[in-house]
Structure 1
């Protein structure tokens, strides 16, 4: 019988197995938590009852990370001269643009929220932006930050929905987010939400790092277990090697 498997060492083996299994289980638990955080950030709010925009965010508030995609209601006044078109947006596999027009929100202290009214194959084919009072239900999204540069800041075509680009087209301050109309406006197709509702790279990062840490602990425990088993076997190997050596006599 190998020395390491002698019954007097079973307690040590059992302890090592428990430690490795526990570390792996905790690692998987943390990774599950990491995935759950990411899924929560992009939760499907399509059937959720809309709430007033100002109940979700104030004019000067940062974007609430747990409200991505939340349906909101807002009223105010359209600002048609601030209309822009966001390029590189797909609909049924066809490349095109989002048509976005700001709404100066009632009770928002003069701040405006850009609302994506829908998708169009080209700005020239988009209907005229609305004017007058606005009543909108929209999915609330954080502004984008792909770092794409705007090659022509004098036109109304933008590469992304970024506050630094949008603010140049309106006189109002902007909310830290934008809306995608729940139903496309007349003459436009539906804007596809899956192009924006993506979890941040930092979402649940702490849980991910904890998960990796537990796997490292488990690997370290397995290594110590292996070394300990080797050390138990080493004396017997030395004895066997010594027994195989020829005996020399001295006269």
Structure 2
């Protein structure tokens, strides 16, 4: 006698459709993580290439276009005098997991026709008992300083409620800083790009800036997890919907 195969009902096809959808979604997520890893590897290669280039000076920054990103991440050396009266403290900024301020001070360049570059000098902790108290940051007065760092865009914007006290001129403590608006507020001839100061901690500031382009291994790990989940869905589907359904166990006697 011929064994009767179980009929394929609606439940079988629904499970098949769900399994195929799950495999497609997880496989696409794995491919997306691989593309993210490739993008970061390309970015890291670009950073390494620009890091080997000679350092630029303030004149290159002053002549840069606002949307010119070919100078971003280039090494830079500036000489000038701080303008501490225009120092801004960006609130809710973290460094190594600790909340505090990013401290930004304009630097009046010495030999570039009176131009000014906004320098991201570093990070300082805040006093949570008195949230309006400014951190102690040492700023040389009327002294020529030499600043080494890398070219960077303006600090990233954080979400803020409409009407927050970060409006121009309301406080030295702000949530965000728009470079064009700050130029109009202060009347300074600010360069369209900023400089992120490097070096060891000094003047009450830390400079453990996050490394751009890291996290490639994380994306490869996520991709492995997504592809593994895709394979698991396929394995479970084949076992429960095909092997156990259509192949008679050895212990079952023939009809």
* Pair 1:146-2:126 in alignment: no
Unaligned runs of 5+ in 1: 1-30, 199-251
**Could you list the per-position Cα deviations for residues 152-183 of structure 1 after superposition, in whole angstroms to 9, with x for gaps in the alignment?**
23101222343034325533111111111112
Alignment of 1:12-51 (within 5 A): 37-40=42-45, 43-44=47-48, 48=52, 51=55
In structure 1, distance between residues paired with 2:101 and 2:181? 16
Distance in 2 (CA, whole Å) between partners of 1:141 and 1:70 is 8
Q: Higher Cα Rg: structure 1 or 2?
A: 1
Instruction: Name the counterpart of 2:207.
Output: 190
Q: Provide structure 2 residue ranges, at least 5 long, that are not aligned to the other structure.
A: 1-34, 127-132, 214-255
RMSD after superposition? 3.5
3-state SS of paired residue (2:150): strand
Q: Which residue of 1 aligns with 2:139?
A: 129
SS of 1:187's equivalent in the other structure is coil
The counterpart of 2:81, out of the listed 77, 80, 100, is: 77
TM-score, reference length from structure 1: 0.55
Q: Is the 8 A contact 2:86 2:186 kept in 1?
A: yes
Q: Cα gap change, 1:35/1:115 in structure 2, threshold over 3 Å: closer, same or farther?
A: closer
Indicate how the Cα distance of structure 1 residues 71 and 165 shifts in structure 2: closer, same or farther if over 3 A, else same: same
Distance 2:51 2:44 in 1: 17
Q: Relative to total residues, which structure has the larger helix share, 1 or 2?
A: 1
Tell me, yes or no, if the aligned pair for 2:73 and 2:150 is still in contact at 8 Å: yes
1:67 CA drift (Å)? 2.6
Deviation of 1:124 after TM superposition, in Å, equals 2.2
What's the TM-score, normalizing by structure 2? 0.54
